[in-house]
């Protein structure tokens, strides 16, 4: 995913909301520092990671001080090692102090998402399976986290409820059957919107295939059931495995021959990367 105009606007929205949340009516503590004092900040990583979020970080400082300078020594997608210098920030001491927590929050979170994703992508290397994200993202940061998944080598699923149709158990119950739900979906889906059906067993898989579904999600199936699903599908539909997938299990699932493996923990269970921002006068 590139920084297009939509994402650039989203970055500015994310930054504005986060700064407003943090600063409120003003940074009282930063006022302890003379307004005319300048400073340099240096961001260092304390652990190995896939760097991500540089645009959010830079935009945070620019929102407070448009003339500040952020010099990056690595770019999004680079693997950085413990102790490595990531960037230098030249700004007024007050701006540096006020923006640093928000800027680091973005960088730590998005680097964590990219790093987690890369671990899963590496785990399935050599198979045809793609690692796919979900809608289990932090509220207000969906595009940011989906960008981080892409930076980590993963594949983005639908962004929201508007750009894809995923028919789940409750949709099927309300519609009356898989066939009826699929027919209803075909009647309303624009040509650029995919239709996917979630199935929990091989009987439902057979129904979905009979209805002509081209994307099928295998929900919490055993390895043996997924093997049989791959045989039954025989390439007639793209198969996506989902449900409680972790690093220990992902390789075995990929080797079965599914096309995609969707993993909620890429975005919902991430642990922030440990970064440090130190100040010096300039």
The domain total for the chain is 2
Nearest CA-CA partner of 61 in 108, 30, 96: 96
- Residue 282 CA: distances (Å) to CA of 22, 35, 36, 42, 112: 26, 14, 12, 12, 31
Element (H, E) at 49: strand 49-50
Cα–Cα distance measured from residue 150 to residue 145, given in angstroms and rounded to the nearest whole number? 9
CA 57 to each of CA 13, 19, 52, 96, 170: distance values in angstroms, whole numbers, following the listed order: 13, 12, 10, 12, 41
Range of the domain at 89: 5-121+270-281
Active site residue 101: yes
Q: Which of 37, 75, 79, 101 is catalytic?
A: 101
Question: 131 and 246, same structural domain?
Answer: yes
Mark whether 258 and 277 lie in a shared domain: no
Using DSSP, state whether 41 is helix, strand or coil: strand
Q: Which tokens hold the place of 119?
A: 């671990």
Residues 207, 114 share a domain? no
Q: What are the tens digits of pLDDT across the range 65-115?
A: 999 999 999 999 999 999 999 999 999 999 999 999 999 999 999 999 999
> What's the distance, CA 79 to chain centroid?
17
Mean pLDDT for the stretch of residues 161-172: 95
Average per-residue pLDDT for the chain: 96
What is the share, in percent, of the chain residues with pLDDT greater than 90? 96
pLDDT for residue 1: 63
Among residues 136, 142, 206, 268, the one annotated as catalytic is: 136
Q: Could you say which of 76, 100, 133, 198 is catalytic?
A: 198
Region of residue 237 (phi > 0: left; psi between -120 and 50: alpha; otherwise: beta): beta
Rounded Cα distance between 22 and 157, Å, is 31
pLDDT tens digit string along 32-43?
A: 999 999 999 999
Instruction: Say whether 22 is catalytic.
Output: no
Same domain, 147 and 221: yes
Active site residue 228: no
186 is annotated as an active-site residue = no
Asked whether residue 139 falls in the same domain as residue 252, the answer is yes
Say what the pTM is: 0.95
From 135, 168, 227, 265, active-site residue: 168
């Amino acid at each position: 995913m590139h920084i297009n105009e939509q994402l650039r606007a989203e970055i500015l929205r994310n930054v504005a909301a986060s700064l407003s949340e943090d600063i409120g009516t003003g940074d009282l503590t930063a006022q302890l520092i003379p307004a005319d004092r300048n400073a340099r900040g240096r961001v260092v990583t304390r652990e190995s990671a896939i760097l991500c979020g540089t645009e959010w970080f830079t935009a945070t400082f620019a929102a407070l001080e448009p003339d500040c300078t952020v010099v990056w020594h690595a770019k999004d997608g680079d693997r950085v090692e413990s102790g490595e210098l990531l960037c230098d920030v030249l700004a007024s001491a007050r701006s540096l102090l006020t923006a640093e927590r928000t800027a680091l929050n973005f960088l730590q979170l998005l680097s964590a998402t990219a790093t987690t994703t890369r671990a899963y992508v590496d785990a399935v290397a050599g198979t045809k399976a793609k690692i796919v994200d979900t809608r289990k993202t932090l509220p207000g940061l969906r595009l940011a986290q989906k960008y981080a998944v892409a930076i980590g080598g993963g594949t983005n699923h639908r962004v929201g409820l508007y750009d894809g149709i995923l028919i789940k158990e409750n949709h099927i119950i309300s519609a009356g059957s898989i066939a009826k739900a699929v027919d209803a979906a075909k009647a309303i889906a624009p040509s650029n919107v995919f239709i996917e059906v979630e199935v929990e067993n091989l009987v439902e898989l057979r129904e979905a295939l009979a209805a002509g579904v081209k994307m099928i999600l295998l929900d919490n199936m055993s390895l043996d059931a997924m093997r049989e699903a791959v045989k039954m599908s025989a390439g007639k539909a793209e198969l996506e495995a989902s449900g409680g997938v972790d690093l220990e299990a992902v390789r075995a699932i990929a080797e079965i021959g599914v096309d995609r493996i969707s993993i909620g923990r890429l975005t919902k269970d991430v642990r922030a990367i440990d970064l440090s921002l130190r100040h010096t006068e300039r």
